[in-house]
Amino acid sequence: MISRRQLRIKTLQTLYAFYNTEDRTVPKAEKELLHNIQKAYDLYNSIFVLLIDIANYAESRIDLARKKLVPSREDLHPNTRFIEAELIEQLRNADQLTRYVEARKISWVNYPELIKELHAAIMADEVFREYMDADSVSFSDEVKLFTHLLTVVIYPNENLEQALEEQSIYWTDDLEYMISMVIKTLKRFKPDGSNEKPLLDLFKNPENKKVPEDKEFAIELLRKSIANKEEYIGYIKSHTKNWDLERIAFMDILIMQMAIAEFICFSSIPTKVTLNEYLEISKIYSTSKSNVFINGVLDKVAMQLKENKKIRKTGRGLIGEFDDKEKN
């Protein structure tokens, strides 16, 4: 479920923290990296819990209205389409979600005002009102509604962002991606509830190997970036002769350091893929001018490494990936 880009970002965050703490060791950094990755999966599960809690709050409001001393006709005959949505019911009964939430102690109990605010925003949403007033709705309509609510109502909420920051310093960075994964998950649900394991696993095909390949990738990327720092910095220096290294943004150096580690140590990843991935990450985590600078330096480093036979790519479509450039 977690993408290679997210793993690169998690590794970059861990590397940044590693170089900004005095009591640093590689084992501690690896532990922090795995904790950071696991917390991202906590957020994925937390979003499902948030949907359930909003529906539960809506149900409690309906129950209170029914218990009024002088209830109105609407109080006695409320529209329960939202709280009885099959998607919500499937989430409530999802053993996989329940077990994880209980094990990791995931809860929004400390954020009642956020639940109340999100509920009010949903009730006021035009698409939601149209859904509630429709003569009939299908399971597909439920999926479309919750996709809309997640992207248009829940994701932009400022108080949600604040609540996430209080729970994890990285969660606000993860939110957009994890919401996209929640939506992807909801689209996998079946109207008859026959999907026994509807939630996505943290790592792809974790049962195929003792250590999942993506988990291995992140740990190895962190290790190589740290262990070979001086060598990689040397490559950067050789192609920034007109620059004092101290004038280069620290995050730019870390991004290039990781990219070079990937060039050299990961034979199955095409160099162009690595270059494109770190350029995209630099747009988020570095300065506005970093993208062009990093692109220029890494392109020169990659050519140097190729000439020195330091880049050795194996696998279908990878051998000779620089041949076209060498011929020009």
Overall average pLDDT of the 68-82 stretch = 90
Domains of the chain: 4-186 (no CATH), 228-327 (1.10.940.10)
Q: How confident is the model at residue 328 (pLDDT cuts 50, 70, 90)?
A: very low
Q: What is the pLDDT of residues 269-290, one digit of tens each?
A: 999 999 999 999 999 999 888 8
Q: What is the pLDDT of residues 6-53, one digit of tens each?
A: 999 999 999 999 999 998 899 999 999 999 999 999 999 999 999 999
Q: What is the pLDDT of residues 198-229, one digit of tens each?
A: 899 999 765 566 778 999 999 999 999 999 99
Residue (of 128, 127, 120, 126) closest to 159 by Cα position: 120
With a CB cutoff of 8 Å and minimum separation 6, the contacts of 80 are 59, 62
pLDDT (0 to 100) of residue 324 = 45
Q: What is the pLDDT of residues 111-147, one digit of tens each?
A: 999 999 999 999 999 999 999 999 999 999 999 999 9
pLDDT (0 to 100) of residue 67 = 87
Residue (of 307, 304, 284) closest to 296 by Cα position: 304
Q: How confident is the model at residue 320 (pLDDT cuts 50, 70, 90)?
A: low
Q: Which range among 55-59, 61-65, 122-126 shows the weakest confidence by mean pLDDT?
A: 61-65
Helix (H, G, I), strand (E, B) or coil at 222: helix
Q: Quick count: other Cβ atoms within 10 Å of Cβ 130? A: 10
| Average predicted confidence (pLDDT) for the chain | 92
Cα(113)–Cα(166) distance, rounded to whole angstroms? 15
What backbone torsions phi and psi does residue 170 show, to the nearest 5 degrees?
-100, -10
With a CB cutoff of 8 Å and minimum separation 6, the contacts of 4 are 214, 217, 277
Residue (of 86, 2, 92) closest to 41 by Cα position: 2
The answer to whether residue 323 scores a pLDDT higher than 60 is no
